[in-house]
């Protein structure tokens, strides 16, 4: 699953983005990978590990909701759309 969000920053600055991905790992767990920054520039990447898909999905939804509250808008979502409530 992948969610890509954007928000317009200050005038004259590039658009800010926030990307969240849910990925299985090789040991049976799940990772939530977050990347954020200005469009067209290198961003910051953080990865958190979760033991189950449900824990990882809950974490992904929590991060998504936090970004929506900050004014970000979902530009596109890929995979597992039936599991997401926007």
Q: Output the furthest CA–CA distance in the chain (Å, rounded).
A: 45
Tell me how far CA of residue 36 lies from CA of 15, 30, 67, in angstroms.
11, 20, 11
Q: Is residue 85 part of a domain?
A: no
Q: Is residue 62 part of a domain?
A: yes
Mean pLDDT of 26-52: 95
* Structural domain count, the chain: 1
Does position 58 have pLDDT exceeding 70, yes or no? yes
pLDDT of residue 10: 82
pLDDT of residue 81: 55
Q: Is residue 10 part of a domain?
A: yes
Domain limits for position 66: 2-80
Q: Is residue 15 part of a domain?
A: yes
Q: What's the CATH number where 62 sits?
A: 2.20.140.10
Total-model pTM: 0.86
Q: pLDDT band at residue 77, thresholds of 50, 70 and 90?
A: very high
Mean pLDDT of 3-9: 93
Instruction: Please tell me the distance from the alpha carbon of residue 61 to that of residue 50, in angstroms, as a whole number.
Output: 14
Q: Is residue 70 part of a domain?
A: yes
Mean pLDDT of 48-75: 97
Q: Is residue 68 part of a domain?
A: yes
């Amino acid at each position: 699953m992948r969610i890509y969000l954007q928000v317009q920053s200050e005038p004259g600055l590039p658009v800010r983005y926030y990307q969240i991905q849910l990925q299985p790992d090789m040991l049976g767990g799940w990772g939530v990978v977050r990347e954020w920054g200005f469009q067209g520039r290198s961003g910051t990447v953080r990865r958190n590990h979760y033991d189950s898909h449900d824990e990882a999905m809950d974490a992904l939804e929590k991060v998504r909701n936090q970004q929506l509250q900050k004014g970000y808008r979902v530009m596109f979502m890929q995979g597992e759309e039936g599991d997401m409530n926007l």
